[in-house]
């Protein structure tokens, strides 16, 4: 795809949205800055020189104007429980691809439930959770599966050096908790279930040099939606390092602070994906820096592949179903290190 193609970024002024805008520019796209807060949209436009189009999810006409002439839309605006459906509807009206960076379990479940049939019938492309949570883990599990058509279980363990949440992360988490009350969710025996007991405290052996770390098991993230949406795996579990869980649970943990010229924090991550079938185990891992910054190359690489026809299906599809997972992960080499382990 040549330069000059416009891509609307809804929620462009947010923490992750700014990374996405910068990555679009780096890749030769022309971002159109959009969002609900007109003052923040205009401020970012003044800082960057890109066009601003204020839009509200309660005003379909404004969304149509925001997407007019764009080749695709990337939704970076949480809480996604409120923004996903209206922006997808606008993308369907505009007949352009939709991608989002939603980590909210319920929002992603809603996308698959409400838009799968319509998007397939329309030949539309909708890629939810194309982010650190939901997209990266799904790609790793898919790559680890290799030629397997099914597996008994999949596990995705997150080794974060820390988790300094953005305001958007905190708001999205609050919305999810409000929707499910005091219950937590897990995916077992091919179905979702709600539980009220405490998640298990465990240990996970990450690849070296991280090694064995305490984790919270059944710390359910968006990968537990994306993986079983296209892979025949009846048990999918995600884990989070205990230190990161303490960070995200504390109201006193500050937002991420810029530590380099690109605005990235100094937080590091290691995502370890394991699939097991009949006593045989396969594994894929990736490590890098800043869970919010890495979302930008993930979603923009996905966008580029959608717009250049390097996709495997139409409709609503997770990253591993939409793209060639090993090839996609190798394309991220400037941003993360990939390991396919025995």
pLDDT tens over the chain, length 342 residues: 344 499 999 999 999 999 999 999 999 999 999 999 999 999 999 999 999 999 999 999 999 999 999 999 999 999 999 999 999 999 999 999 999 999 999 999 999 999 999 999 999 999 999 999 999 999 999 999 999 999 999 999 999 999 999 999 999 988 888 888 889 999 999 999 999 999 999 999 999 989 999 999 999 999 999 999 999 999 999 999 999 999 999 999 999 999 999 999 999 999 999 999 999 999 999 999 999 999 999 999 999 999 999 999 999 999 999 999 999 999 999 999 999 876
Residues 69 and 199 in one domain: no
Query: Residue 266 falls within a domain, yes or no?
Result: yes
Residues 144, 258, single domain; the answer is yes
Q: Please state, in angstroms and as integers, the Cα–Cα distance from residue 105 to each residue in 7, 9, 43, 262, 297, following that order.
A: 26, 21, 31, 29, 22
pLDDT of residue 179: 87
216 and 149 co-located in one domain: yes
Task: In whole angstroms, give the CA distance from residue 191 to residue 171.
Answer: 27
| d(C-alpha 94, C-alpha 294), whole Å | 28
Tell whether 15 is covered by a domain. yes
Give me the CATH number covering residue 186.
3.30.360.10
Predicted structure pTM score: 0.96
**Structural domain count, the chain:** 2
Q: What is the pLDDT of residue 12?
A: 98
Same domain, 148 and 263: yes
pLDDT (0 to 100) of residue 182: 81
Say if residue 266 is in the same domain as residue 253: yes
Judgement on whether residues 142 and 213 belong to the same structural domain of the protein: yes
Residue 337 included in any domain: yes
Give the end-to-end CA distance of the chain in Å, rounded to a whole number. 37
Domain shared by 11 and 94, yes or no:
yes
| Rounded (5°) CA angle 82-23-43 | 65
> In the numeric block, which tokens belong to residue 210?
């991280």
Strand residues in the chain grouped as ranges (E): 6-10, 30-35, 52-54, 72-75, 98-100, 125-127, 153-160, 184-188, 191-195, 201-205, 212-216, 235-241, 268-277, 280-289, 315-316, 336-341
| Helix/strand/coil for 307 | helix
Shared domain for 153 and 245, answered yes or no, is yes
Domain annotation covers residue 300: yes
Give the neighbor-by-neighbor strand order of the sheet with 52-54: 52-54, 30-35, 6-10, 72-75, 98-100, 125-127, 315-316
Report if residue 11 sits inside a domain: yes
pLDDT of residue 340: 82
Domain range for 36 is 6-131+295-322
Examine the domain organization and report whether 168 and 290 are in the same domain. Answer: yes
CATH number at residue 29: 3.40.50.720
Do 256 and 157 fall into the same domain? yes
Residues 6+ apart with CB under 8 A from 215: 157, 201, 202, 203, 204, 239, 240, 241, 242
Asked if residue 319 lies in contact with residue 328, where contact means CB atoms within 8 angstroms, the answer is yes
Give the C-alpha separation, 126 to 229, whole Å.
13
Q: Is 1 within the bounds of a domain?
A: no
If we measure between CA atoms, which residue out of 82, 44, 84, 38 comes closest to residue 62? 38
Same domain, 112 and 13: yes
Alpha-carbon distance of 183 to 299, in angstroms, equals 30
Between CA 175 and CA 315, with CA 170 as vertex, the angle to 5 degrees is 60
Does residue 125 fall inside a structural domain? yes
Are 152 and 228 in a shared domain? yes
CA-nearest of 179, 75, 67, 83 to 129 is 75
């Amino acid at each position: 795809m040549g330069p000059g193609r416009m891509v609307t970024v809804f929620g462009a002024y947010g923490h992750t949205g700014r990374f996405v805008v910068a990555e679009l520019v780096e890749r030769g796209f022309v971002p159109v800055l959009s969002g609900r807060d007109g003052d923040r949209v205009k401020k970012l436009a003044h800082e960057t020189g890109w066009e601003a189009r204020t839009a509200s999810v309660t005003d379909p006409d404004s969304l149509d104007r925001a997407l007019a002439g764009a080749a695709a839309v990337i939704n970076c605006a949480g809480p996604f429980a409120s923004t996903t459906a209206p922006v997808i509807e606008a993308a369907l009206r505009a007949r352009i691809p939709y991608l989002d960076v939603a980590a909210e379990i319920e929002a992603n479940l809603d996308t698959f439930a409400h838009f799968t049939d319509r998007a397939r019938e329309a030949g539309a492309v909708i890629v939810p959770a194309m982010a650190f949570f939901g997209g990266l883990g799904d790609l790793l599990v898919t790559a680890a599966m290799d030629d397997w058509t099914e597996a008994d279980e999949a596990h995705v363990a997150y080794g974060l050096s820390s988790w300094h949440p953005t305001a958007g992360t905190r708001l999205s988490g609050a919305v999810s908790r409000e929707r499910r009350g005091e219950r937590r969710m897990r995916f077992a025996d091919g179905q979702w279930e709600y539980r009220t007991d405490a998640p298990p405290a465990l240990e996970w052996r990450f690849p070296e040099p991280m090694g064995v770390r305490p984790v919270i098991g059944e710390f359910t993230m968006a990968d537990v939606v994306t993986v079983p949406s296209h892979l025949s795996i009846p048990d999918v579990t995600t884990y989070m390092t205990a230190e990161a869980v303490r960070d995200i649970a504390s109201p006193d943990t500050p937002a991420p602070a810029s530590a380099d010229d690109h605005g990235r924090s100094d937080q590091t991550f290691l995502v370890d994906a394991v699939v097991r079938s009949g006593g045989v185990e396969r594994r894929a891992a990736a490590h890098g820096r800043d869970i919010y910054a890495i979302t930008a190359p993930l979603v923009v690489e996905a966008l580029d592949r959608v717009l250049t026809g390097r996709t495997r299906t139409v409709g609503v599809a997770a990253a591993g179903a939409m793209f060639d997972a090993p090839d996609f992960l190798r394309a991220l080499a400037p941003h993360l290190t990939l390991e396919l382990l025995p």
